[in-house]
Amino acid sequence: MRWEGETLVTTTDTLSKLAKSKKYRSAFAMAQFKRLVPFQIRALRKQRGWSQEQLAENARVTQGVVSRAEDSDNGNLTVNTILRLANGFDSVFVGQFMPYSQFLRWYEELTDKLPPIPSFEEEFGNTLDIDVGSIAHSKEPRENQEIIKALQSQAERSNKQSNVIDITGAARTKKSDTPKEDANAAICGNPS
């Protein structure tokens, strides 16, 4: 359930409207996208305390592009612009296809608050030495999840020093000339 103006809208109400026609469903989904993406861009920029000019500089676009991207009435936002702005935030934008049942759950949970979205450096530090190939080529999805959890845990413990990722649990200050070999050994289960 959600309030739209002074009207309480339930999933049943929304579903009955969506069931009317494919044209209505299309218009509804597009309206949500055109409203939500500009909202996120503006909210994230303000979260970071940036001006439109600062975001434009980081994203390598003009301030006018940022202004239009933040305007939900503009209606001419391209995927390339969204991706450039995400890069300017040093974060990721992921468009996702989904069934209407999932869309309805997502729609029901919308709020006017954007959770904090850290940049990559804020989240992981800028000096982590990770051999991503070891993770990407692993055959076991469960193993990948464990590695990613270990990397995230170590990134949280990092105090912005240069760290070698050691999934045995301890983040170590880099001491060798071959940190990627050390990280590979740790990821493969042979920590030195």
What was the pLDDT predicted at 80? 96
What was the pLDDT predicted at 156? 63
CATH entry 3.40.50.12780 includes domain 2-117: no
What was the pLDDT predicted at 82? 96
Buried b (16+ CB within 10 A) or exposed e, 45-62: beebebebeebbebbebe
Sign of CA dihedral 105, 83, 162, 139: positive
Measured CA angle at 66 (ends 63, 72), to 5 deg: 140
- Please state, in angstroms and as integers, the Cα–Cα distance from residue 159 to each residue in 57, 58, 64, 122, following that order: 28, 25, 37, 11
Residues of the chain with pLDDT under 50: 8, 159-192
What was the pLDDT predicted at 191? 45
What was the pLDDT predicted at 76? 80
Spatial distance between the Cα atoms of 177 and 127, rounded to a whole number of angstroms: 15
Contacts of 79 (CB under 8 A, 6+ apart): 95
What was the pLDDT predicted at 38? 94
Listed by start position, the domains of the chain span 2-117, 123-187
